[in-house]
Structure 1
Amino acid sequence: MTDEDSWTAPVAEAPLDAVVRVPGSKSITNRAYVLSALATAPTRVRAPLDSRDARLMLGALAALGARSEETPGGGYLVHPLNPARIHVEETVNVVLGNAGTVARFTPALATLGSSPVLFDGDEAIRRRPIGPLLQALRDLGADIDDDGRAAPPFTVRGHGGLPGGRVDLDSSASSQFLSALLLAAPATEKGVTVRLVGGNPPSEPHIAMTLDMLRRFGATVDRDGVEFHVPPARLSCPVYTVEPDLSTAAPFVVAPLLTGGKVRIEGWPSSTTQPGDYLRGLVTQLGASVSLDEGGLTVEGGGSFSGATLDLHEVGELTPVIASLLCFADSPSVITGVAHLRGHETDRLAALAAELSGLGADVKDTEDGLRITPAPMTAGVFHTYDDHRLVMAGAVLGLRIPGIDVENPATVGKTFPGFVDAWSSMVTA
């Protein structure tokens, strides 16, 4: 570390030979916490992610009446939502930070109590899309006042339940809109039927994740093309174990392509709905050797590879790391299908084009992606825009370019608080 505001990413001086364990999946952790709050009995959530976003979710659920406590050996025991714990005349504050899952998954739960609940967070969360979800919740019977902003801050006035019913939803900006309605559906009076309009949501794997977890908690889920139905249900799951976060593993998975050698990621599941599992096929396509056994995933690379044309619509969160990787290919690359990244923690496409080009690569953002023409890159500051995935992208650059100063590395705490130490240990092992 150079100082608390930047980190000089380490250069790989030799082929890698390292074993890495990444923390639990953020997406699974926060879905598990929400479903646990809606269950009829406490749920022990094992091996969850411990990060800012996960703690914000626990804090939001506590504010809404679902307390939790750490358990021996790690994890949390999450108790069912008890809206009666909130006094009717009090305004409850839910702190969102810059956590999209908290902003989108918890407003429906606020309808189950009898208090006004104010949702607000960092300035960045006020720029992230949520309007279609708020309108869908209104159509299902929620009382929401956003003063016309279609963004935080907004207030949900609980009236002791959410009627539910049929609703059309434009989830093209984020699959989390759909997941939010489906996760809340078992607690509604009539269940929820959602018909998607306005284009396909990005990240089909995250939708599959939501459906799988609903079923594991005891809900019935029916899907017919663009229509989803979840009836009322009494949820229960005494113990839920969270998988390692495969998207957070992305920089470790691609590293051998740039350095040679091998990296093993412990605990990689043999079957998963996580979008990060796409990485296995990608690095194989780019020339790496990949083996998966019951203990984890091993990736071996030779240090050189050709460019590629990639549609990352279903796995958009991998784009920052993949874009950095492709700057070192032997030929140009094109990434498409990720226009929705303009509404993430930052406009990721504009940020990547600016930062990668600023260091020497020829990277242009298009309407729905990036065009990457490799060129010699030099040392410099890699700005991260308070975006955890950009910290990881900067680390990847540093494997081959001495003097990459990654701005604000602490922001990676959103998904992997120990990332800097784990990365440095891998490179220097």
Structure 2
Amino acid sequence: MSLKNSQFSVEAREFKANIRVPSSKSYANRAIILAALCKDEVSIRNLPLSHDVTNLLNVLRVVGLRIVEVDDGICIENSFPECESSSNEIIKVFPGDGGTTTRFLIPFLALGKNTYQIEPEGRMRERPIADLLESLVDLGASVNQCDSWLTLKGPIKESSKRLNADASKTTQHATALALSLAFHNVVVSPVDMKYSKSYWEMTMSLIDCFKKGQRDFVVPVDFSSMSYVLALGADRGEVLVENCTLIDDHQSDSVFIEVLKEMGFSVSLTAKGLHLVSSKEIIKPIDFDCSNCPDLVPTLAFMCSRIDGESKLRNLSVLKYKESDRLLEIQKLLDLYLIDNTYDEQEDFLIIYGKSSRESSRKEIFPPDDHRIVMVSYLFLRAHGGGVLHSTSSVSKSFGNFFEVVTNEE
């Protein structure tokens, strides 16, 4: 299937399929940064089809890492900053628009001695990084925000002190520092951590694995990506995810499995994979705290829109700082399908007055260049009267073959 024109015709129909979903880019990028700092050779297998991962690997090659492709993964043979070739020129790197890619690279590159100019794309240029930069300055790095976005020069100082990192807006700053300083005498402590605690725990778990000597890693399936096909199966039929054989508690979005069960859907781990069947019983609305799984909110909002009754999603303000203002975009989709909704900014919750009836008219949706909003827009189109979806190429950020998976049913 070609996405040459970055648009796709969506037909309203049932969904019954045996599928495979991508592995976790969040896990992969954390493991890659640690592997690039480790003095030993490290292999990472089952890498996802994700631009964020590809962009990170491309930057690491630019700064001197030897990265060899093996089987379904890579082997990183040397380490940074030892691999760095001294240069008097500013070295430009292009991490794309990913939050983990860009933020993880900033303190990583500050370990070196060269001057790096980091030039991300799209909305990443507007997303918060001030707290991360302040921490690097405290550690002795030279940082300059400029028209080209950011230049920095290390090396940061060796220290045995505890480093506090503001985690009120995102845990990625604390995670980026913890990854880059994993083999130094610095203890990074997130402060005021409101969101994505499980991803911080994933970071700590991976660091612990490296320190204990593990050098071979297999990336687990991505529960964020899987939520879209599970939601489609829940609404329109049945799905078996063949490469999901366990629930990864370090991925906060794995809670979606329990949420589906709470709603009343049949979800089970079998010898063949994770199996979900849409229910003919009464499906219940939910009242759910999203602070630990903000990436899951688009899918949750879709599910709530398809359930008769009042659902409430709490702690959503962080969505405003993602690849798009996801809170605004979700409300646009709800409004398009005449799903009543109310956001209380002071209390930070969204009420969705869902309905199981389907809108029969075809729609044309022009989402922002945000993979999660594009995928949830597809769900809305397919659940109702179909239509045309634009900006489809952005799914390559996390789920490169999304449209093949959702259209090639058994």
TM-score by length of 1: 0.87
The residue matched to 2:223 in structure 1 has which SS? Answer: coil
User: What do the CA deviations read for 1:303-328 (whole angstroms, capped 9, x no partner)?
Assistant: 56232211111011011111112111
Aligned equivalents of 1:201, 1:141: Cα separation in 2: 28
Map 1:145-160 → 2, pairs under 5 A? 145-147=144-146, 153-159=149-155
Aligned equivalents of 2:155, 2:190: Cα separation in 1: 27
Alignment-derived partner of residue 198 in structure 2: 205
User: What do the CA deviations read for 1:349-389 (whole angstroms, capped 9, x no partner)?
Assistant: 01111232123222344323422123564431223211111
Aligned equivalents of 2:339, 2:242: Cα separation in 1: 29
CA drift of 1:239 comes to: 1.3
Alignment-derived partner of residue 295 in structure 2: 317
Aligned equivalents of 2:405, 2:233: Cα separation in 1: 15
Alignment-derived partner of residue 263 in structure 1: 240
Map 1:237-252 → 2, pairs under 5 A? 237-252=214-229
Alignment-derived partner of residue 384 in structure 1: 367
Aligned equivalents of 1:31, 1:82: Cα separation in 2: 15
The residue matched to 2:117 in structure 1 has which SS? Answer: strand
Moved more, 155-164 or 96-105: 155-164
CA drift of 1:94 comes to: 1.6
Aligned equivalents of 1:262, 1:355: Cα separation in 2: 24
Map 1:157-176 → 2, pairs under 5 A? 157-159=153-155, 162-163=158-159, 165-176=161-172
Aligned equivalents of 1:291, 1:160: Cα separation in 2: 48
Change (3 A) 1:211 1:294: farther
Aligned equivalents of 2:383, 2:325: Cα separation in 1: 26
The residue matched to 1:313 in structure 2 has which SS? Answer: coil
Change (3 A) 1:187 1:146: farther
The residue matched to 2:211 in structure 1 has which SS? Answer: coil
The residue matched to 1:213 in structure 2 has which SS? Answer: helix
* Alignment check: 8 A CA contact 1:139 1:167 kept: no
Indicate whether 1:335 and 2:313 are aligned: yes
Aligned equivalents of 1:114, 1:56: Cα separation in 2: 22
Count of matched residue pairs: 402
Structure 1 stretches of 4+ with a deviation exceeding 4 A read 160-164
Alignment-derived partner of residue 8 in structure 1: 9
Aligned equivalents of 2:67, 2:92: Cα separation in 1: 18
Alignment-derived partner of residue 371 in structure 1: 351
Change (3 A) 1:3 1:96: closer
The residue matched to 1:386 in structure 2 has which SS? Answer: coil
The residue matched to 2:396 in structure 1 has which SS? Answer: helix
The one-letter code of the counterpart of 1:278 is: V
The residue matched to 1:247 in structure 2 has which SS? Answer: helix
The residue matched to 2:276 in structure 1 has which SS? Answer: strand
The one-letter code of the counterpart of 2:122 is: E
Aligned equivalents of 1:144, 1:294: Cα separation in 2: 52
Aligned equivalents of 2:131, 2:182: Cα separation in 1: 21
Alignment-derived partner of residue 207 in structure 2: 214
Moved more, 112-121 or 135-144: 135-144
Alignment-derived partner of residue 256 in structure 2: 279
The one-letter code of the counterpart of 2:103 is: R
Indicate whether 1:393 and 2:376 are aligned: yes
The one-letter code of the counterpart of 1:18 is: A
Aligned equivalents of 1:110, 1:271: Cα separation in 2: 30
Alignment-derived partner of residue 77 in structure 1: 75
TM-score by length of 2: 0.91
Q: Tell me, which stretches of 5 or more residues in structure 2 are unaligned?
A: none
CA drift of 1:290 comes to: 1.4
* Alignment check: 8 A CA contact 1:117 1:155 kept: yes
CA drift of 1:145 comes to: 1.4
* Alignment check: 8 A CA contact 1:382 1:406 kept: yes
The residue matched to 2:124 in structure 1 has which SS? Answer: helix
Alignment-derived partner of residue 424 in structure 1: 407
* Alignment check: 8 A CA contact 2:29 2:100 kept: yes
Alpha-carbon RMSD? 2.2
* Alignment check: 8 A CA contact 1:397 1:404 kept: no
Change (3 A) 1:53 1:298: same
The residue matched to 2:405 in structure 1 has which SS? Answer: helix
Alignment-derived partner of residue 233 in structure 1: none
Return the match for 1:301 from 265, 269, 278. 278
Q: Tell me, which stretches of 5 or more residues in structure 1 are unaligned?
A: 220-235
Aligned equivalents of 2:57, 2:158: Cα separation in 1: 22
CA drift of 1:301 comes to: 1.7
Alignment-derived partner of residue 173 in structure 2: 177
User: What do the CA deviations read for 1:198-230 (whole angstroms, capped 9, x no partner)?
Assistant: x323111101100111011116xxxxxxxxxxx
Aligned equivalents of 2:108, 2:160: Cα separation in 1: 12
Map 1:73-112 → 2, pairs under 5 A? 73-83=71-81, 84-112=83-111
The residue matched to 1:65 in structure 2 has which SS? Answer: coil
Aligned equivalents of 2:25, 2:267: Cα separation in 1: 25
Alignment-derived partner of residue 29 in structure 2: 30
* Alignment check: 8 A CA contact 2:342 2:350 kept: yes
